[in-house]
Structure 1
Amino acid sequence: MMSVVTYTAYVLGKSWNILLNTWPEYREHCRKPYPEIGYRAMGSIVRKLVSLCIDITQFGIAVVYLLLSSKNIHDMIKTFSDNDFSYCFVVLILAVCLLPLTFLKSPQDFWWAVVIAMITTSCAVVLIIIGSSLDYGLCSSYTGMPSYQPKNFFLALGTLLFAYGGHSAFPTIQHDMKNPAEFTKSVVLAFTVMGVMYGPVCIMGYLTYHDTIRDSIIPSIQTVWIQQAINVLITIHCLLTLTIVFNPLNQEVEELLNCPQHFGWQRVLIRTGIMVAVVFVAESIPNFGPLLDLFGGSTLTLTSVILPCLFFLFLNARQMRENDTGKKDDSPATLKDVFKYTPRSTLIICIGIIVFGFCGGAAATFSAIVELTTTNFLLPCYVSPFLNKTMDEDLALVSEYGISFVY
């Protein structure tokens, strides 16, 4: 999986370089580089579809991170106090606290938030490895190896794509670089570092806890101070990420509704409405694990696996067609051009990845929907009180019997 997402990030970077070399206007400011890649590769309709896909992805990430942050805070409250504070109320309180931060115009001056998020994640990874290593002698002999189930394989695929699928932001990052041509080197280094960080966590978690791991590895760690330190670090990471994730989604809706760029009641109303929508989905599906797998298997599979290869094939074929004919032609390449001008090795690799993305993404999406509606089904927060059943009871049942993966 690591090699697939690294390759797709690589060809996505090459696609943006083609745009910069062919259409000089993209060397100046461009608000939506990824949709522009889709437009130059396959036309204006694809540009709109890419924008929609990215917006849905940003919305889904916001919901997942809000749920994950709320769960971690709820776990800390349960650990350090005897208060029976509802998980659903934590979601609401956290959303209210985050709302003023979403009113900021742009996160471009908050580079420190990205740095802190990176540091907290790195520290959390180290603590997880230490905690699971300390638990190895105690836990490994009391847990069993999980039986192989195809459904769990595809759910894991969705989880991995959620972890590695940041491709929708890559063209924007590349556009802001001093030398965009060097981006392809950056992605190889970035994914190598991510593999070094995530790999040991997955391996140690599996070897130590086996089939007892649920949506998060954190509750499995037996040393309380390590467990809660990881909780704090991951929560800080999620909260900082949330403030950044909301911004492009907010700006997209504001542009659609012709909202003034200066601060005013329109911005407050629109961004409050978006936060309410995120909270409503979070309260309706209060289980972040299968929801994470759902977005990983659907929109993130599109933006991180399928579309990069598809766009590169068409952009590269258009460029080679122009070089072959010697005529300037801005029209997208045809499917015939793709098969005529693309080197066979590149064509085979890209088609293989596209087929894998379609099949794996469809299976992961279906498996996640089954998880949400059957195995890990939780009543919406606004329904459970009327059935005399608390959300904390539901979460306890899922924790006891559910099956999921490390995030």
Structure 2
Amino acid sequence: MTFSRDNYAFDDPSQKDTRTSSRSDNDTSSNSDVDMSKPFFNPTGLNWFVTGLFVVGDLAGGGIVALPTAIIQADFWTGLIVCMILIAVVSYTAYVLGLSWNILLSTWPEYRHHCRKPYPEIGGRAMGPTCKLLVSICIDVTQFGISVVYLLLASKNIQNMIIAFSNGGNLSFCVLVLIVAACLLPLCFLKSPQDFWWAVVIAMLTTSIAVILIIVGSIIDYSACAPHAQLPPFKITNLFLSMGTLLFSVGGHSAFPTIQHDMKQPKEFTKSVILAFTIMAFMYIPVCIMGYLVYGDSLRDSVIPSIQTVWIQQVINILITIHCILTLTIVFNPLMQEVEDLFKVPQKFGIQRVLVRTGIMIAVVFVAESVPTFGPLLDLVGGSTLTLTSVILPCLFYLYLAAYKKKEEVTGMPGYEPATWRDVFAYNDKPTLIICITIMIIGIVGGGCATFSAIVELTSTQFQMPCYVSAFQHKNTSAITSQTNCCGPMQNIAVFNGTCSAPNLGFYN
């Protein structure tokens, strides 16, 4: 008997089911001693509470500083309603993605060992090997894009701190990108989330403190800025751009199966999802409301420079920068494990892991130096591949896997091929079908519009010359004297009679 993991089928279907006799590519031990009647249990894994903090650390941070701007772009009430709807949508898709991985754990024994790429395995079992490959490519692009955004955001925050604490001194942003990448590279050599759970918990804590400080700083600025706060004229393109930011802020499902697989009891992932998205709702909504009430259309890419109490502004900068650097350890991990699997890199630490992961970091740095604007890039990632992995694919895969499982129970025979679309409609209950199809339509329409708008933004109004081109151009060498974006219609109201940054009155146009 032979079994192909690429084709998910026996050469001889009359032989025993793969679930009791196949060998995993991820593990050299036999699966024949696996008791499939018992739920999967990993005694060295993470409990559901720490896993929930992991999910918060994976999602919150980079998006939260841009979220108030997105709400302003969407005309506040519209944006706030869309934000709450998207939180509910991604909570559901995280839930069904967790159910999908549990179906794999309870059906095929090879997944009870270390699995380098669980999300593509879900796609492969749901819809076949071609889908597995497409999911791998989609996740790689998503994680790569998020890594670039976080690297740019961390570098921008550090540049702001240098300007604030050196009385206008400045260090080239392009040079800072290189320095930050070199400093965080050693963290990327760790194997999997269970090896650096402490880093993500710290990232979650730094984000929580940053949220509190954003609210405190906004309250301090309220009396001077709130009377002058106003919304920009509504534009449909701004609404689509805000969709990209919102999706970036609440989506991050590419890493969820990897995190779930490192749990003691993956069946408890639903608890982790509820905890994580409840925490995120309590983080996001107050920040959005305060940004609208206090600053209005004086907000730009990030809410941080609008906080006019300098020490609060810079502490937030430090906290969000720490978050970005630590969260990159999660964001990078699925991508790096995927590439390592492609090149047959051993799972033990060695020179091959160092070379592969260093090469990926160099590629991320090159893209960051090519597109040194994190706002529109964030919108592009959020509206495209991140929408696929966080909204559309979880529902699609769950419908196919649930149909496969239900068909097996009804017929009493194990399946040797993925479910068909006819099985999807025959073996799923109507409420699940309606919810999943509705969510997929929302993802396709919203993500498509957000992607198109972000491309237009990157190539026109927000275009910046790549670092390796601008380095050879004549530049104004005068130092930037302030990184505080003042409030008011003309962006010139300073709460403490400080110096304002140069206004950008056309930001929303």
Specify if TM > 0.5: yes
Instruction: Tell me the equivalent position of 2:171.
Output: 85
Measure how far apart 1:20 and its partner are.
Answer: 2.1
Contact 1:384/1:390 (CA < 8 Å) preserved in 2?
no
Q: Within the alignment, does 1:152 sit opposite 2:238 as a pair?
A: yes
Counterpart pick for 2:124 among 39, 48, 71: 39
Residues 100 and 13 of structure 1: is their aligned pair in 2 closer, same or farther, counting only changes over 3 Å?
Answer: closer
Measure how far apart 1:17 and its partner are.
Answer: 1.9
Distance in 1, matches of 2:503 and 2:355, equals 36
Deviations 1:155-188 (A, max 9, x none): 2221122121121122222222222222123212
Distance in 2, matches of 1:101 and 1:341, equals 45
Instruction: Tell me the equivalent position of 1:11.
Output: 96
Measure how far apart 1:347 and its partner are.
Answer: 1.0
Counterpart pick for 1:66 among 151, 154, 160: 151
Alignment of 1:275-314 (within 5 A): 275-314=361-400
Contact 2:221/2:294 (CA < 8 Å) preserved in 1?
yes
Instruction: Tell me the equivalent position of 2:468.
Output: 382
Measure how far apart 1:104 and its partner are.
Answer: 4.2
Segments of structure 1 that go 5 or more residues without pairing to the other structure are none
Instruction: Tell me the equivalent position of 1:56.
Output: 141
Larger relative CO (CA 8 A, sep 6+): 1 or 2? 1
Segments of structure 2 that go 5 or more residues without pairing to the other structure are 1-85, 484-500
Instruction: Tell me the equivalent position of 1:199.
Output: 285
Residues 362 and 216 of structure 1: is their aligned pair in 2 closer, same or farther, counting only changes over 3 Å?
Answer: same
Residues 62 and 321 of structure 1: is their aligned pair in 2 closer, same or farther, counting only changes over 3 Å?
Answer: same
Measure how far apart 1:106 and its partner are.
Answer: 4.6
Percent of paired sites with the same residue: 67
Counterpart pick for 2:358 among 245, 253, 272: 272
Please give the secondary structure, in 1, of the residue aligned with 2:471. Answer: helix
Measure how far apart 1:42 and its partner are.
Answer: 0.2
Alignment of 1:230-379 (within 5 A): 230-379=316-465
Measure how far apart 1:207 and its partner are.
Answer: 1.2
Distance in 2, matches of 1:400 and 1:88, equals 25
Distance in 1, matches of 2:310 and 2:288, equals 20
Contact 2:255/2:330 (CA < 8 Å) preserved in 1?
no
Instruction: Tell me the equivalent position of 2:299.
Output: 213
Please give the secondary structure, in 1, of the residue aligned with 2:468. Answer: coil
Deviations 1:274-324 (A, max 9, x none): 222111110110010111111111111011000011011111111222222
Contact 2:376/2:454 (CA < 8 Å) preserved in 1?
yes
Q: Within the alignment, does 1:167 sit opposite 2:279 as a pair?
A: no
Residue identity in the other structure for 1:48: L
Please give the secondary structure, in 2, of the residue aligned with 1:144. Answer: coil
Stretch deviating more after TM superposition (183-192 or 39-48): 183-192
Distance in 2, matches of 1:250 and 1:20, equals 23
Q: Within the alignment, does 1:402 sit opposite 2:507 as a pair?
A: yes
Stretch deviating more after TM superposition (40-49 or 169-178): 169-178
Instruction: Tell me the equivalent position of 2:223.
Output: 137
Measure how far apart 1:53 and its partner are.
Answer: 1.2
Residues 109 and 315 of structure 1: is their aligned pair in 2 closer, same or farther, counting only changes over 3 Å?
Answer: closer
Instruction: Tell me the equivalent position of 2:106.
Output: 21
Contact 1:34/1:172 (CA < 8 Å) preserved in 2?
yes
Deviations 1:337-390 (A, max 9, x none): 111222112111111111111111111111111111112111111112333236
Residue identity in the other structure for 2:428: T
Distance in 2, matches of 1:218 and 1:106, equals 32
Contact 1:157/1:297 (CA < 8 Å) preserved in 2?
yes
Measure how far apart 1:398 and its partner are.
Answer: 9.0
Contact 2:193/2:259 (CA < 8 Å) preserved in 1?
no
Distance in 2, matches of 1:332 and 1:30, equals 20
Residues 20 and 96 of structure 1: is their aligned pair in 2 closer, same or farther, counting only changes over 3 Å?
Answer: closer
Contact 1:376/1:398 (CA < 8 Å) preserved in 2?
no
Distance in 2, matches of 1:324 and 1:263, equals 46
Residues 24 and 96 of structure 1: is their aligned pair in 2 closer, same or farther, counting only changes over 3 Å?
Answer: closer
Residue identity in the other structure for 2:239: F
Residues 247 and 37 of structure 1: is their aligned pair in 2 closer, same or farther, counting only changes over 3 Å?
Answer: closer
More helix by share: 1
Q: TM-score of the superposition, structure 2-length normalised?
A: 0.75
Stretch deviating more after TM superposition (109-118 or 259-268): 259-268
Residues 264 and 11 of structure 1: is their aligned pair in 2 closer, same or farther, counting only changes over 3 Å?
Answer: closer
Distance in 1, matches of 2:375 and 2:193, equals 28
Distance in 1, matches of 2:160 and 2:102, equals 46
Distance in 1, matches of 2:286 and 2:94, equals 23
Stretch deviating more after TM superposition (142-151 or 344-353): 142-151
Residue identity in the other structure for 1:99: L
RMSD: 2.2
Residues 262 and 188 of structure 1: is their aligned pair in 2 closer, same or farther, counting only changes over 3 Å?
Answer: closer
The structure with more radius of gyration = 2
